[in-house]
A and B are shown apart, each in its own frame.
Chain A
């Protein structure tokens, strides 16, 4: 699965969580920040984790990835970093994914 198609997936999940009414002025891209641009709330991270598992299965361990984040990484976290993480997790899991 390419980074572009993961970005499309993740963007759709985020639009679903945040609500498209709020994203009129914001096109989600690799540089979009979770904290400053999306203002994603902690409870919404839980929803995102569920959606990622639903879409990609156990190979993409978002919760463990998040748990390894330093504070500054969390503040600066972008959609691109999540996309890269998902793509590399899928690649590591092999072509079956």
Chain B
């Protein structure tokens, strides 16, 4: 039996895959706890999950950074903001709490999200074996190709962070707090990231890990099949910009509704209903578009034929696991990279988030639904995900890391 401490940032998409891995470890008799902000973590974790908090609530500057990020920064400005105003202050805020958690809880292995660099610094400080949880694939390949000064800038941030927290200048290697030298769990497969890239041997491509998250969100399932019994039924399309970006998506949502209002599909748009003045009480806009604030996404994907998304890694992987073709409209951060992976794999098309017109979006949806090659490519990736093992494979690797004597 080993003790695993999972250090996560206050980001839903970075936490959810660890929930599945934690459940798998617990089912095999190991002890698991999550280390982060308690008020953020509790709603995402199963009842009874142990939280070793670095604090109850997020610090004010981190909260305002998250809110500001959702507003519309893009490109290089978004990149600078991510590190300077979010990840670096977050890491500073988390170091003392993670350190106390490690002392008190005494883990055998620390699993550290790739953006929670405080966890890596503390694991190194205590000489503990640690693994990186790479819940998005954008940084698995060089995201700075062509822009070396950006890499140098991030490296300066990571070096300064370590020195501020007592690491000797000579030991403050920027790479040391990004990717573990012991184990990197990549929640994707090379079928999506790229087959021809030489990855280090301690990188494990385990595929996405989906938690058996409780879905208490109600949904009018009969709406998807309005002409009951008609064969074939109308294809169903899901439009979602994930948990972080839906506020900034007003224009995009309106374009999507205009594009798909008359299309021969049943379209579910996950958006704030306040965006649409003409919305019926049941969320219907005409008989072919339904707007819902929340949906039981995993259950819904089983009934959907194509997904329009901003390219958040979890939504993309959930759609691909269901062998669904995609239309990706990346906004910022890792999303352009994820979108390119989808396009390169043949599983979808990319449109411009800020500038796509209804006719462009309609054409893209028509294409990914009408040309079977997109669904076939999505099916290939779904098969690769299933073969990769997901949470069970991740647990195998972590358990091996905890018991070095047993390592092959």
Contact = CB atoms under 8 A, between A and B. Distances in A.
Contacts of A75: 75-77, 80
Interface centre among A35, A42, A66, A70, by most B CB within 10 Å?
A42
Contact of A39 (B149, B355, B357): B355
B336 A43 contact: yes
Contacts of A70: 149, 153
Nearest to B81: A75
Main secondary structure on B side of the interface with A: helix
A69 interface: yes
7 contacts: A21-B357, A35-B77, A41-B352, A43-B336, A63-B146, A68-B149, A75-B75
Interface string A9-31: 00000000011011000000000
A96 interface: no
A66 B340 contact: no
A21 B358 CA distance: 13
B361 to A, nearest CB: 14
Contacts of B261: none
Contacts of A72: 80
Interface of A: 18-19, 21-22, 35-36, 39-43, 63, 66-72, 74-75
B355 A18 contact: yes
Nearest to B154: A71
Nearest to B360: A19
Contacts of B80: 71-72, 75
Contacts, number: 50
B149 A71 contact: yes
B148 interface: yes
Nearest first, the 8 A-B pairs at minimum CB distance are A74-B76, A71-B153, A75-B76, A75-B77, A22-B355, A35-B75, A39-B354, A70-B149
A23 to B, nearest CB: 10
B254 interface: no
Given A18-B355, A42-B336, A75-B80, A67 B147 contact: yes
Contacts of B76: 35, 71, 74-75
Nearest to A40: B75
A43 B357 CA distance: 18
Interface centre among B76, B79, B330, B357, by most A CB within 10 Å?
B76
Contact of B336 (A39, A41, A71): A41
B233 interface: no
B150 A71 contact: yes
A66 B149 CA distance: 10
A80 B336 CA distance: 26
Contact of B148 (A18, A39, A67): A67
Contacts of A36: 77
Nearest to A36: B77
A79 to B, nearest CB: 15
Contacts of A19: 355
B149 A42 contact: no
A50 to B, nearest CB: 13
Contact of A41 (B75, B146, B149, B357): B75
B79 A43 contact: no
B149 A67 contact: yes
Interface centre among A39, A63, A67, A71, by most B CB within 10 Å?
A71
